[in-house]
Structure 1
């Protein structure tokens, strides 16, 4: 089970190299969907049914989204590969907070945007991801 951030990032980099050997990850972070991690944790196992875990990676060419294993924190199946130009337009409402930052990401093929919650442990990666993709600094 991967616990260290660097181990998780290495595993995601290996998964990306397997599908596109000529691309290189710039920044990767772990995220949880859903309205509020605090609310979902209060609901216990029932709350876990309503959330999904992802790794979001900005590479030199695309944004890659892998489903993350709930048990092992390993990247699982590839969910989306979004070209950079398109990905820049899919991020809205970036909110930086002390414990759980969030952003809205409109996954291709979905009717509405998905809230991606980013734990404090991964906030520095979120702080790199958003400006590198959109050119806009996060405030807050």
Structure 2
């Protein structure tokens, strides 16, 4: 199971290169979609069933969302590829907190924005990614 951030970023870059050899990642974060991670951890394995793990990557050509394996923490299938001009409008309600930050992401085909929870080890990358997508510097 990949635990080091650099190993995870390399695995995501390899998945992107396999799908599109001409594309290169600029910034990648790991996000957990669903209700509050704190709340779901109180419910143990039942709470984990309500969470979905993703890698969100801004590349030279698009914004990519890969599902992450719960067991190996490796990128799995590509869920969605969003053109950069559409990705600018998909982020809202950014909340930076000490351990878990969050933002809302309007995914194509979803009726309402999905809450994305980001651990503090990914905060610098989250700030870079959100700055690129919203055009605003980090708070």
TM-score, structure 2 length as denominator? 0.97
Q: Distance in 2 between matches of 1:35 and 1:65?
A: 18
Checking the alignment, whether the CA contact within 8 Å between 1:96 and 1:138 is kept in structure 2 is no
Q: Distance in 2 between matches of 1:122 and 1:12?
A: 14
Alignment of 1:1-140 (within 5 A): 1-139=1-139
Checking the alignment, whether the CA contact within 8 Å between 1:102 and 1:115 is kept in structure 2 is yes
Checking the alignment, whether the CA contact within 8 Å between 1:30 and 1:56 is kept in structure 2 is yes
CA RMSD across the alignment: 0.7
> After TM superposition, what 4+ stretches of structure 1 lie above 2 angstroms from structure 2?
none
| Matched positions, count | 139
Q: Distance in 2 between matches of 1:93 and 1:128?
A: 16
Q: Distance in 2 between matches of 1:94 and 1:16?
A: 26
TM-score, structure 1 length as denominator? 0.97
- List runs of 5+ in structure 1 lacking aligned partners: none
Q: Distance in 2 between matches of 1:118 and 1:36?
A: 10
